[in-house]
Amino acid sequence: MTLDFMEKYFLKNIGKKDSHKLSTYEESGGYQTIQKVFKLEPQKVVEEVKISGLRGLGGAGFPTGMKWGFIPKNISPRYLVCNADEGEPGTFKDRWLMDNDPHLLLEGIMIASYALDIHTAYIFIRGEFYNATQKVKEAIKECYEQKYLGKNIFGKSFDLDIYVHSGAGAYICGEETALLEALEGKRGLPRVKPPFPAIEGLFGKPTVINNVETLCGVKLILEHGAKWYKSVGTEKNPGYKLFPISGHVNKPGVYELPFGMPVQEIIEKYGGGVPEGRKIKGVIPGGSSSGVLTASELNTPMDFETFRGKGMILGTASIIVMDETTDMVEILHNIMHFYAEESCGQCTPCREGTMWSYKILNRLMKDEGTREDIETLKRIAKNISGTTLCALADGAAIPLKGFVEKFPEDFEKRIRAPRRETPKPVIMR
Ligand SMILES: Cc1cc2nc3c(=O)[nH]c(=O)nc-3n(C[C@H](O)[C@H](O)[C@H](O)COP(=O)(O)O)c2cc1C
Ligand code: SF4
């Protein structure tokens, strides 16, 4: 995999020998920031994160400082849960961070816990991420040995324990309330909201849930300052983030770039363009739930606001490039298979809508579709969005609508040719 060659903050240690080890992390200034943070009032830390404009990097883009502000002051225990479930197709940034630099995440968790007076944190890691789980567990062990975790961490009067929980590889367990159910030992089904986790989360207590990359961002902001973070990106969406690039590109990989760069520039400058000079047909800009851009939309800047304005989402900013040889029916068929399989089944529009779409696409794949099928796909997309308990259904509706509307010629090709009328038998007299 290729590494970014621009400024490196998130990726600073990646590529170094034994980048996952405490010694490597400390050699490059690791665990200095938490010690600096201990000298600040916890509220000052929350303020710094608010000023930075950091937005959740797990997909929804909710302002992190504001989310932290919802935690009631007078209720304990309260918990921090790190969402390391990373199930969004096309997304491989959190795994990359945990595999290569788990101490960056741990320092982010320490800072967030101190800011919010939290003494127990959980990292919920996708079950398939065996390597990342091992790396994070080893890093936690190293921290306990150095008394960076446990009682009076770094010799200060602050206690913190961090536990790792392995998920079982269900996409829905990345949804924050389903994740909490799974962490409590129950089936991972999204909860009715409100109450939101900040008020009633894990074991009924106030809980902050943040993505791996968000918590790494917290560490970087407290190290370099909110001003530094705000110095790049856009006004409403400042800072750096990781952009995984995959599909038909010469240099797939994880790139660290500021928000707001046009998709085309990222693909050409960092992804190395499309192999053999082929043309781009479409791009999934932020994981499968984000929708699809046509070749004429590639000047779109990669930030949360712009995508919302287009009826799409930036999601995890994981770019999947599809060249001119791609069959968009096949891609959508694959995507809807995923959502039909991963719907937890609680809400009828999601459970039925994702499965119907998949079945219709099965028909189109056999060139046996009808014109009505195409209209039905559009109608399903409309009817399942905004009508369900969690955002999985919206995440299925956006690509469903996008692919069918933006690439009509691929779908038209799959309509069954009208059968010729059976000739009437000629009666010989
Ligand atoms: C179906 C579904 C799957 C999700 N999967 C993930 C995931 O794997 N990782 C993640 O961080 N957020 C995921 N989210 C978003 C979380 O619900 C939540 O917004 C996020 O963990 C909050 O962290 P952040 O504010 O730091 O982004 C998912 C949401 C939905 C609806
Ligand atoms: S929208 Fe889908 S995945 Fe989410 S709770 Fe409803 S049925 Fe489950």
Cβ of 81 below 6 Å from ligand 2: no
**Minimum CA distance residue for ligand 2 atom 4:** 390
Q: Same structural domain for residues 109 and 23?
A: yes
pTM for this entry: 0.95
Mutate-to-test residue for ligand 1 from 83, 210, 290, 394, highest number of ligand atoms within 8 A of CB: 83
Confidence at residue 427, expressed as pLDDT on a 0 to 100 scale: 73
Among the three residues 278, 308, 323, which one is the final residue of a domain in this structure? 323
CA–centroid distance, 246 to ligand 2, in Å, is: 28
Q: Please, what is the end-to-end C-alpha distance for the chain in angstroms?
A: 78
Q: What is the pLDDT along the chain (429 residues), one digit of tens a residue?
A: 444 446 799 999 999 999 999 999 999 999 999 999 999 999 999 999 999 999 999 999 999 999 999 999 999 999 999 999 999 999 999 999 999 999 999 999 999 999 999 999 999 999 999 999 999 999 999 999 999 999 999 999 999 999 999 999 999 999 999 999 999 999 999 999 999 999 999 999 999 999 999 999 999 999 999 999 999 999 999 999 999 999 999 999 999 999 999 999 999 999 999 999 999 999 999 999 999 999 999 999 999 999 999 999 999 999 999 999 999 999 999 999 999 999 999 999 999 999 999 999 999 999 999 999 999 999 999 999 999 999 999 999 999 999 999 999 999 999 987 666 666 777 766
**Minimum CA distance residue for ligand 1 atom 1:** 392
Confidence at residue 419, expressed as pLDDT on a 0 to 100 scale: 61
Cβ of 57 below 6 Å from ligand 1: yes
146 located within any domain? yes
Among the three residues 201, 230, 259, which one is the final residue of a domain in this structure? 230
Distance CA(217)–CA(37), nearest Å, equals: 15
The total domain count for the chain is 3
Q: Same structural domain for residues 61 and 140?
A: yes
Q: Same structural domain for residues 244 and 288?
A: yes
Cβ of 392 below 6 Å from ligand 2: yes
Cβ proximity of 323 and 248 under 8 Å: yes
Mutate-to-test residue for ligand 2 from 85, 172, 342, 394, highest number of ligand atoms within 8 A of CB: 172
Cβ of 58 below 6 Å from ligand 1: yes
Q: Within a 10 A sphere around the Cβ of 352, how many other Cβ atoms? A: 16
Confidence at residue 201, expressed as pLDDT on a 0 to 100 scale: 98
Q: Quick one: which atom of ligand 2 is closest to the CA of 388?
A: 1
Confidence at residue 6, expressed as pLDDT on a 0 to 100 scale: 66
Q: Same structural domain for residues 269 and 384?
A: no
Residue numbers of the domain that contains 254: 240-323
Q: Quick one: which atom of ligand 2 is closest to the CA of 351?
A: 7
Cβ of 239 below 6 Å from ligand 1: no
Distance CA(57)–CA(51), nearest Å, equals: 17
CA–centroid distance, 175 to ligand 1, in Å, is: 5
277 located within any domain? yes
- Ligand closest to the CA atom of residue 217: 1
CA–centroid distance, 115 to ligand 2, in Å, is: 33
What length does the chain have? 429
Which of 261, 260, 233, 225 shows the shortest CA–CA distance to 52? 225
For β-strands 253-258 and 2-3, DSSP reports them as parallel
338 located within any domain? yes
Q: Same structural domain for residues 77 and 162?
A: yes
422 located within any domain? no
Which of 221, 256, 259 shows the shortest CA–CA distance to 239? 259
Q: Same structural domain for residues 149 and 10?
A: yes
Confidence at residue 401, expressed as pLDDT on a 0 to 100 scale: 98
Among the three residues 230, 252, 273, which one is the final residue of a domain in this structure? 230
Distance CA(353)–CA(340), nearest Å, equals: 8
209 located within any domain? yes
Which residues have C-beta within 8 Å of that of residue 74, sequence separation ≥ 6? none
Confidence at residue 5, expressed as pLDDT on a 0 to 100 scale: 47
Cβ of 199 below 6 Å from ligand 1: no
Q: Is the peptide bond between 194 and the residue preceding it cis, with omega within 30 degrees of 0?
A: yes
Mutate-to-test residue for ligand 2 from 388, 394, 400, highest number of ligand atoms within 8 A of CB: 388
260 located within any domain? yes
User: Any idea what the CATH number is for the domain that residue 213 is in?
Assistant: 3.40.50.11540
User: Any idea what the CATH number is for the domain that residue 375 is in?
Assistant: 1.20.1440.230
3-state SS track over the chain:
CEECCCCCCCCCCCCCCCCCCHHHHHHCCCCHHHHHHCCCCHHHHHHHHHHHCCECCCCCCCEHHHHHHCCCCCCCCCEEEEEECCCCCCCCHHHHHHHHCHHHHHHHHHHHHHHHCCCEEEEEECCCCHHHHHHHHHHHHHHHHCCCCECCHHHCCCCEEEEEEECCCCHHHHCHHHHHHHHCCCCCCCCCCCCCCCCCCHHHCCEEEEEHHHHHHHHHHHHHCHHHHHCCECCCCECEEEEEEEECCCCCEEEEEECCCEHHHHHHHHCCCCHHHCCEEEEECCCHHHCCEEHHHCCCECCHHHHHHCCCCCCCCCEEEEECCCCHHHHHHHHHHHHHHHCCCCCHHHHHHHHHHHHHHHHHHCCCECHHHHHHHHHHHHHHCCCCCCCHHHHHHHHHHHHHHHCHHHHHCCECCCCCCCCCCCCCC
Q: Quick one: which atom of ligand 1 is closest to the CA of 174?
A: 5
